[in-house]
Structure 1
C-alpha cells in the first residue's frame, strides 16, 4: 500500500497517537498526519502548535508528513490522491463513531477506504480531554504524553 492519512485534532498528541503512527509507518510508504478541523471540539492548542508538536514527534520517520486542513478529510484525500484513512479505535464507543464517519466518507468519496487500528492495550483509556483535565488539577501525565507536551500543557492550564 502506498499512501494513508491519519487525521485527528491531536490536542494534545499522546503516546496512543504515537503508537498508531509507529505501527502504520511500517505498513504504508507515506503517512500523512493530518491535523484536521473539527468545529465541535474546543482546542487548547492552536493549529500551528499542534503541527509543530506532531512534526517534532514524527521527525524520526522518513515517510511521515505532517499537514493541516480546514475542510473535509475526503477532499484532502482526493486532492493528494490518497485512498486510505487510518483511524485508531479504543473501545466499542469509538468504533461506533468511527464506523459512522467511515460510511459518511465512503458516501462522499467511494474511492476512500478506512482502516481501523485497535489501540495498544497500554493506551486503551487514553483520551486527550482526560489528560487536559488531569493536568488542570496538577496531576502527573508523564506516562501518557511526551515530556515537552506535558510542559506545554502545564503552561496553558496552570
Structure 2
C-alpha cells in the first residue's frame, strides 16, 4: 500500500474558475499530491489552447506546494493510472452535475475498479459558476469586478484578450 496519497482532478479548465480553485484548495488539503489533469478533447473547440490553459492553471495554483499540472488526452482513468494514483477527485454542483458525474463514476469503475472517485460538493457560492456563464458575462460586461466573482483575477486579462479575438 503506497504511503503517498496522490489524487487526480481532471477537467477542461477552459478557463479555470473560482469553483475549480475552491475544489483544488480543498483537495490539496486531503492528499499528499494533487495532479490537475487538463483534458484535450478533439471534439471540442476550447476558448484557450492547451498551453494557455496550462499556464493559467499553473499561475493560480502556484501557492499550493503539492499541486502539479499535466495534460492528457483519452480516458481520465488511463491518466489517473499513468500518474500512479488510485483516486479521482470530482467537484459537483448539486443541481447540474450529480446525474452525469454518477454515470461517469460508474463507467470509470467498470474501466478500472481500482480507482475510487471522491466527490467534493461545490460551495454554495460556486454552484452556478460554469465556463459558459463566465464567457457570456465576459462578452457583454466591461466590469472586471463582475468577472472577479467567477474567475481568479490572474485569468481576467487572458479572458478579456481571448473574448476580443473570439
Task: Determine if the TM-score, normalized by the shorter chain, exceeds 0.5.
Answer: yes
Match of 1:65? 68
Answering whether residue 97 of structure 2 is matched by residue 99 of structure 1, we say: no
Helix, strand or coil: the match of 2:44? coil
Q: CA deviation at 1:77?
A: 1.5
Answering whether residue 36 of structure 2 is matched by residue 33 of structure 1, we say: yes
1:27 and 1:38 map into 2 onto residues whose CA distance is: 28
For 1:60-111, what per-residue CA distance to the aligned partner results, in whole angstroms no more than 9, with x for missing partners?
1111110000121111112222111011001233010011111111111110
Alignment of 1:129-144 (within 5 A): 129-139=132-142, 140-144=146-150
Choose 61-70 or 140-149, whichever is displaced more: 140-149
1:121 and 1:71 map into 2 onto residues whose CA distance is: 31
Match of 2:46? 43
Q: CA RMSD in A?
A: 1.3
Helix, strand or coil: the match of 2:16? coil
Answering whether residue 81 of structure 2 is matched by residue 78 of structure 1, we say: yes
Q: State the TM-score, normalized to the length of structure 2.
A: 0.90
Structure 1 unaligned spans of 5+: none
Match of 1:146? 152
2:6 and 2:65 map into 1 onto residues whose CA distance is: 13
Q: CA deviation at 1:37?
A: 2.1
Helix, strand or coil: the match of 1:149? helix
Distance 1:27 1:57, change over 3 A: same
Q: CA deviation at 1:34?
A: 0.4
Runs of 4+ in structure 1 over 6 Å off: none
